């Protein structure tokens, strides 16, 4: 077991596959710093994550995510809100 949440693991797989990242990716990996994602990459990642998890991510909240763990928490929050509705 790697200690990642299901959401983190799915995001890491998505990033590795769709953004062709060969380096080790961890939940603490910085989207902008470590992965060198620019604003267009981040928008693309959010769109792909929305498709993967069948959710809509608030753009303002998404821009606050600085790491994979941050984005995973945001996704989990949206999923929980949708499940409660």
What confidence tens digit (pLDDT) does each residue in 65-76 have?
Answer: 999 999 999 999
Do 33 and 70 form a contact (C-beta atoms < 8 A)? no
In this prediction, residue 5 has a pLDDT band, given cuts at 50, 70 and 90, of: very high
Closest CA to 53 of 79, 25, 14: 79
Domains of the chain: 6-84 (1.10.1200.10)
What's the whole-number mean pLDDT along residues 33-58? 96
Closest CA to 57 of 67, 44, 39: 44
The confidence score (pLDDT) of residue 85 equals 83
The confidence score (pLDDT) of residue 3 equals 86
Do 7 and 15 form a contact (C-beta atoms < 8 A)? no
Do 27 and 4 form a contact (C-beta atoms < 8 A)? yes
Place of tokens 């984005």: 71
**pTM given for the model:** 0.92
């Amino acid at each position: 077991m790697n200690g990642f949440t299901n959401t983190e693991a799915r995001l890491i797989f998505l990033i590795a596959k769709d953004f062709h990242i060969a380096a080790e990716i961890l939940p603490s990996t910085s989207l902008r710093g470590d992965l060198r994602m620019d604003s267009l990459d981040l928008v693309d990642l959010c769109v792909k994550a929305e498709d993967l998890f069948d959710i809509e991510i608030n753009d303002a909240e998404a821009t606050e995510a600085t790491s994979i763990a941050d984005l995973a928490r945001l996704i989990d929050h949206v999923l929980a809100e949708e499940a409660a509705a």
